[in-house]
Amino acid sequence: MANSNVNNITVVAPPGARGDTGPPGPRGVRGERGETGRPGKLGPQGLEGQNGEKGAPGQKGSQGAEGFGGGAVYIRWGRTSCDEGTGTVTVYSGFAGGSYYANKGGGSNYQCLPADPEWGRYDDGVQGSKSYMYGAEYELDTNVPYDKATLHDRDVPCAVCYSLSRRAQLMIPARKTCSEGWTREYGGYLMAEYHNHNRSEFVCMDGEPEVLPGGEGNANGALFYLVEARCGSLPCPPYMEGRELTCVVCTI
């Protein structure tokens, strides 16, 4: 709206019509860059992209240093050596032993005594208050599952076995086969001391046992008897009254 001043009289003229938009002016000089603004809010996660193609295999690395430890150790009762065809080696072989069957003291577990003992300080002769180590014999009164004529009252061999490629061993009573993934080292029948003698451990006697030469006499000592199932708190079936129990030694 334009103003006019005539003889000190102000006349207010009405605004004219708006003119047409003129052509754009020349581009101005670029101003200075402003300060960086604050980051905006995190947007929603996009869809997962497709997997890329499998890359070529890398070069084979160098072999690491040889490790130590590990492996599985077990005793093969009734045999003079281990089955080295399964990747197992015989650490040593010897004689099965333990406490005298009728003595109240001593150890309750059988021992695999080496055939070449080493001595420290000693005093020959039986004297003083000591514990005793005896050899062990098979004690059989039937021909099942072993042949009584070839084993009864004969001395029992044993072998300590070591498998480097496996890390654990397990004796499973009442089984002839190992669980899936385990290697069967050997199988046989469960044996222990007579039920009316002092207690011993249960061990897995090899299914094809050997005897020590020259051990035919009935000298007693530690004894190995077959183990039978007895029904009651042990459910029958699946167990059977008076049936000899099998066993298997497994490694993994």
What digits encode the pLDDT tens for the residues 179-207?
999 999 999 999 999 999 988 999 999 99
**pLDDT tens, residue by residue, 131-188:** 999 999 999 999 999 999 999 999 999 999 999 889 999 999 999 999 999 999 999 9
- Count the neighbouring beta carbons within 10 Å of the beta carbon of residue 80: 16
| DSSP conformation class of 78 | T
Asked if 71 and 251 count as a contact pair (C-beta separation under 8 A), the reply is no
Lookup result for tokens 């061990």: 203
Lookup result for tokens 């333990």: 98
If pLDDT is split at 50, 70 and 90, which confidence band does 12 have? Answer: low
- Distance, CA of 112 to chain centre: 24
Tell me what the pLDDT averaged over the chain comes to: 88
